[in-house]
Chain A
Amino acid sequence: MAAPCAALVAPIAADYDAWESWVTGTLLRAYADCAAKHDAIVAAWPK
């Protein structure tokens, strides 16, 4: 949970499919991970 967020890797300039795969598989995956991490940190924060 305390681990830093993974650095994004830029997509290769292949084609539209490669870009969509990068957006869904890397970018939004990283966003979901970050949102879950944020949620967990807020939950762990002393009230």
Chain B
Amino acid sequence: MPAWLASMTAGLWGYVGALAIGAGLAAGGTYYVTHNADAAARAALQLQIAGLQKQAIATHDAGVTASLAKLQNFIGQMNAAGAGYQASLAAIDAQFSNLQKGLSNAIAAKPLPVDCKPDAGRVRQLAAAVAAANLHAAAP
């Protein structure tokens, strides 16, 4: 390989590496802020509940103690469901990213004829279906 090409390739890989590291740091930072902010808020709430529980036990208020225990349980359930949802989203992202790559490869391997295009009527129908779906998504 000529020296100029080797130097250009090395430069390109350096650039790609820097981009990958930058993207990784950004994703990690977002994850940290989101999850730790949630964790801090949850810890503060748990602390408040623990304080109220102590008060309820001291005053022998069984009803309040039971309600607080129920609330704590509910918070735990919400937290577990939230974590499960985040894990599902990560798995979905990975799966659909692979699917899109596969589709790009298929398109490159077997390009369609240039005149393979939808007509105005079909585009209109699909746009109407998307509008109808969005209308329901936006409904309270």
Contact = CB atoms under 8 A, between A and B. Distances in A.
Interface string B95-134: 1100110010001000010001110100100110011011
B81 A13 contact: no
Interface residues of B, number: 32
Contacts, number: 82
Interface in B24-81: 70, 74, 77-78, 80-81
Contact of A24 (B88, B96, B118, B134): B96
A5 B137 contact: yes
B112 A17 contact: yes
B92 interface: yes
B85 interface: yes
B126 A10 contact: yes
B11 interface: no
A39 B85 CA distance: 8
Nearest to A9: B130
Contacts of B116: 15-16
Interface of B: 70, 74, 77-78, 80-82, 84-85, 88-89, 92, 95-96, 99-100, 103, 107, 112, 116-118, 120, 123, 126-127, 130-131, 133-134, 137-138
Interface of A: 1, 4-5, 7-11, 13-17, 19-21, 24-25, 28-29, 32-33, 36-37, 39-41, 43-44, 46
